[in-house]
Amino acid sequence: MTNTSAEAFAPATMANLGVGFDVLGLAFHEPGDVVRAELTDEPGVTIADIEGDGGQLTRDPEKNTAGIAAASTLKRLGVNQGVRLTIRKNLPLASGLGSSSASAVAAAVAVNALFGDTLSMKELLDPSLDGEAAVSGRHADNVAPCLFGGITLVTGVDANEIKMLPIPPSLHLALITPNVAVQTAVARAVLPQSIPLKTMVLQTAYMARLIDAIYRGDLSEMARAMEGDQVIEPARAHLMPLLYEMRQIAKSNGAFGLVISGAGPTLCAICNDEKIAQRVAQAMQAGYDAAGIESATRCTGISTSGAHVLRVN
C-alpha cells in the first residue's frame, strides 16, 4: 500500500548518560523533530522546506541527515518513486539533544510509512545511521534510543547489538540549554586519545554501577554513577558554561545529580519528582540569568515509544 503523504515524530535524546560514552543513550518524551514525506513522480529525494532551523541547515538532500536517511530508506524499499520532505526542527542545533539523529530517524520512519510500513523498526536502523553518519559518525548512541525509545545499551550498529534497559518509574529530568552552540566535531576533538589503566578501571566500575542502579531503579545511585565520568566530562567541561555551578544549584534544589547531555551544552538533572524537576529547572535558569547567559529549560521524562508515525494520507 502506498500513501500520498506521511508524517513522523522522532524524540530528542541524551547520549552517554555521563559515564557511558558512545554506548548509552535515552530518549526524552519531548521535544522532538517532525518530518513530513510526500510522494512525488520523480525518483529521489527533495527537501521542500525546513522550519525552525533559522536557515542554518542545508536543503541539499545529499548532505542533510533527513535527506540521506530518506534516500537510504527508499533504496531498501526498492521503489522507483521519489519523496519530498518538509522538516520541522523543534530541537536546537548543536545542543547535545540528538538533533541530527531526530531528523534522520523521523525521515526514515515517515518514508517507510508512506509505503505502507514495509520495513520493521529494526530495519530502519541502518538508514537512520546513514543519515547520522554524515554529521556525527556512524554510531547509534543517539539513533538507537531515538528510534526505539527508552534507555538503550549500544554495543554496535546492528539491531541485535542494542539492548533495552529498564526505565526507573519515578525518573524525571530537568533540562537546561544555555545559548552556546557546541558542535559535535569540536566536542570530540577535545577528547583524550589515550587514558591511564587506572582511569579505565575506575570508568568501567562507574559504568557497571550505573547499569546496576538502572536495573534496581535506584535514582540516587544512578545519578552518582553518571557523575563519576573520569574521561569525557573533564575534557569537555570548559565548553559548558557554569557546569559545576549548575550541578550545585541542581542538587541544592532537590536533584540527585547533573550531567552533560551528549556533547552539550544542554545539562540534564536527575530528579524523582515532577515538581522537583520544575524547581531545579527554574533555579538553574535563574543562575544563568544572573550570569547574563540566555537559556531554555524543559522538564520531561523518558519516551517509551521512541519515533512513531503521526499521520498518513
Please give the positions annotated as active site.
132, 184
**Contacts by 211-217 with C-beta closer than 8 Å and gap 24+?**
211/153, 211/165, 214/151, 214/165, 214/166, 214/168, 215/165, 215/166, 217/166, 217/168, 217/169, 217/170
The radius of gyration of the chain from alpha carbons, rounded to an integer in Å, stands at 19
**3-state DSSP assignment of residue 82:** strand
- Are 52 and 86 within 8 A, CB to CB? no
Residue 163 bridge partners (DSSP): 153
- Cα–Cα dist 215/310, whole Å: 31
Sorted by sequence, the CB contacts under 8 Å of residue 208 that are 6+ apart come out as: none
